[in-house]
Amino acid sequence: MPAILTCFEAGCRSKYPIDEIIYTCPRCGGLLEVVYEGDAPDSSALKRLWRERRMSNAPLDQSGVWRYRELIPFLDDPAHVVTLREGDTPILDAPAAARFSGLDRIAFKHQGFNPTGSFKDNGMTCGASQARRLGMQRVACVSTGNTSASMAAYASAGGLQPIVLIPHGNISYGKLAQALEYGARTLQVEANFDQILALVRILAERLGIYLLNSINPFRIEGQKSIVIEMMDQRDWSAPDWIVLPGGNLGNTSAFGKALRELKSLGFIDRIPRLAVVQAEGAAPFYNFMAERTAFRSVEHPKTLATAIKIGDPVSWPKALLEVTNSGGVVEKVSEQEIADAKAIIGQCGIGCEPASAATLAGIRKLTAAGTIAADADVVAVLTGNVLKDPDYIYRYHTGELQSPDGSLIRSTFGNKPVLVPNDADAIARVLGN
Ligand code: F0G
C-alpha cells in the first residue's frame, strides 16, 4: 500500500512524499500523520498470518511490531529495519489491583517488558528504521528519560549516532544510565522538557539531524502495534476501556489511530473508550478537556512521575480527536494517588514506574465517579518497567518520598526493610517464630 505523509489539520490535509524530511506541515505548521492508500487488506487472512508468524524465527516475525507490518507499511525495504525484538508484551490479570480500583477485574498490558523497559521501543524501531531509509547519520531527541533510553539503543543497534537532550536533574538515574550505556552523546540542558523540544527542533534542522521525538509520525505508526497486539492477544475482542497515562500525548494519538484503522478495516467491531490520565501538576490536557476553552500549556509542570512531567504536549490536537472519537475521558490524579496505586501494582508482583501507575489511580477515581462501571472490561497500559526509578520506590517504602510542593507522601502501603543483627535468635524474633 502506498504511504503518504499527510497534514493532520482538517482544513489543510496537504500531502508529502513519505521520504521527505519534515515533522510538521510546511504549509500550515500542523502535525503530520502517515496515511496509506490502496486496497484494504483481508482482515481474516491477516489474523491467520500473524498467528503463524508467532512460530517463526525470522527477526521481523518475532518482533511484536513488525509482525503486524501490513498495518504499518511505510518502508519499501525491510533491510532498513532496526529491531531488538520489541513488543510481545504480556497482558496480566491483577485481582488485587482490581479490588483497589473498584473493578471486578483488570488487566495490565505491560510495555515495561520491552527491550529498554518502556513502550517507546514499539515506536523507536519504526523511527530508527525510517532514519536509516532516509540515509541519516545522526538522530536526536529530547526526553523525560524513556525516549532517550530507547532511541540510544535503537540508534546504536542500527549504526546511527544518538544525541540525547534531557532536562538537567529531572530524569531518573535508571533512564539516564541507559542513555549513557547505549552510547548516546548526552546533553543535560538547564531547561524543562518543553523548552528543550523547541531547541532540538531548531538544532535538528540546522545540523541535519533526524528528530525522533513523538512528533515524528513514524514513531506513532510503531506505537499503534501496542493496540494491535493487545487485540490479537484478546482474540480481537475489544475491551470497554483502554486506560493510559498522558504526557506528550503521542501514545494517545497512536492508540486512537490504531483503533480507527482496526475498526475501518474490519479487525474489531467497536472502538473501546480511551481514558487518559495525567498527574495533577502536569495536566494541561485534562484542564483543556474540562474547560473546553483554548488550549493552554502549564508553564511549570510538577510531578514525581517525571516521565509525564510535560506542560506543553505537542500531540494534543491528535489526542483531542482520538479521545473524542472514542467517547473517552481525561482524568488527573495526585502524587499520593499515583504512589499508592504504584505500590498496589507492585504487590500484585507486576510493578511499574510512577507514570504508569497513574492509570490505576485514574481508574479508581473513574469507577468511584461511576464513569467506568465495576463490571467493565478494562485494559490499563503500564508504560514503563519497575526498575526505571528505584529511588522513588525506596523513598516511598521508607516514608521519605516528598511531593514537588515539599509535603511528605504517606507510605500507605509501605514495606520498609528491617535492619537486624548477625544473630539467628534476633532474626527469628523479627520473623515472629
Ligand atoms: N509513561 C511513560 C513511562 C513515559 O515515558 C511517557 C512519556 C508517558 C507515559 C507518556 O506518553 O508522551 O506519549 O503521552 N515519555 C516521553 C519521554 C515524553 O521522553 O520518554 P506520551
Distance CA 163, CA 210 (A): 10
Give the single-character DSSP code of 408: B
Tell me if 389 CB under 6 Å of ligand 1.
Answer: no
C-alpha cell at 103: 473493578
Instruction: Report whether 365 contacts 337 (CB < 8 A).
Output: yes
Give the single-character DSSP code of 419: -
Which ligand 1 atom is the nearest neighbour of the CA of 213? 19
Instruction: Report whether 316 contacts 288 (CB < 8 A).
Output: yes
CA of 195 to the centre of ligand 1 (A): 16
- pTM, two decimal places: 0.98
pLDDT (tens, 9 = 90+) of the chain, 433 residues, equals: 799 999 999 999 999 999 999 999 999 999 999 999 989 999 999 999 999 999 999 999 999 999 999 999 999 999 999 999 999 999 999 999 999 999 999 999 999 999 999 999 999 999 999 999 999 999 999 999 999 999 999 999 999 999 999 999 888 999 999 999 999 999 999 999 989 999 999 999 999 999 999 899 999 999 999 999 999 999 999 999 999 999 999 999 999 999 999 999 999 999 999 999 999 999 999 999 999 889 999 999 999 999 999 999 999 999 999 999 999 999 999 999 999 999 999 999 999 999 999 999 999 999 999 999 999 999 999 999 999 999 999 999 999 999 999 999 999 999 999 999 999 999 999 999 6
Tell me if 112 CB under 6 Å of ligand 1.
Answer: no
DSSP 8-61: --TTT--EEETT---SB-TTT--BEEEEE-SPPP-HHHHHHHHHHHTT--SHHH
Please name the amino acid found at residue 204: A
Centre a 10 Å sphere on the Cβ of residue 411 and count the other Cβ atoms it contains.
18
- Residue nearest atom 6 in ligand 1 by C-alpha distance: 307
Closest to 99 in 3D by CA, of 366, 346, 364, 397? 364
Which ligand 1 atom is the nearest neighbour of the CA of 356? 1
CA of 44 to the centre of ligand 1 (A): 33
Residue linked to cell 542500527:
158
Centre a 10 Å sphere on the Cβ of residue 206 and count the other Cβ atoms it contains.
8
- Residue nearest atom 4 in ligand 1 by C-alpha distance: 307
The HSE-up count of residue 208 (CA atoms within 13 Å, CB side) is 4
Tell me if 385 CB under 6 Å of ligand 1.
Answer: no
C-alpha cell at 7: 497534514
CA of 305 to the centre of ligand 1 (A): 10
Of the chain, the percentage scoring pLDDT greater than 90 comes to 97
Tell me if 250 CB under 6 Å of ligand 1.
Answer: yes
Instruction: Report whether 157 contacts 99 (CB < 8 A).
Output: no
Instruction: Report whether 225 contacts 72 (CB < 8 A).
Output: yes
pLDDT digits (tens, 9 = 90+) for 208-248: 999 999 899 999 999 999 999 999 999 999 999 999 999 99
The residues, ordered by sequence, that sit 6+ positions from 420 with a Cβ below 8 Å of its Cβ are 426, 427, 430
pLDDT, position 433: 67
Over the range 154-186, which residues count as b (16 or more CB within 10 Å of their CB) and which as e?
Answer: bbbbbebebbbbbbeebbbebbbebbeebebeb
CA-atom Rg of the chain in angstroms: 21
Over the range 372-388, which residues count as b (16 or more CB within 10 Å of their CB) and which as e?
Answer: beeebbbbbbbbbbbeb
Distance CA 299, CA 292 (A): 19
Instruction: Report whether 367 contacts 375 (CB < 8 A).
Output: no
Ligand 1 mutation pick, 116, 244, 251, max ligand atoms within 8 A of CB: 251
Give the single-character DSSP code of 346: H
Tell me if 147 CB under 6 Å of ligand 1.
Answer: yes
pLDDT, position 212: 97
pLDDT, position 214: 85
Instruction: Report whether 410 contacts 336 (CB < 8 A).
Output: yes
Residue linked to cell 467491531:
269
Tell me if 111 CB under 6 Å of ligand 1.
Answer: no
pLDDT, position 138: 98
Tell me if 101 CB under 6 Å of ligand 1.
Answer: no
Q: Are strands 210-211 and 241-245 parallel, antiparallel or unpaired?
A: unpaired
Which ligand 1 atom is the nearest neighbour of the CA of 384? 3
pLDDT, position 124: 98
- Residue nearest atom 9 in ligand 1 by C-alpha distance: 245
Ligand 1 mutation pick, 192, 212, 383, 385, max ligand atoms within 8 A of CB: 383
Instruction: Report whether 278 contacts 245 (CB < 8 A).
Output: yes
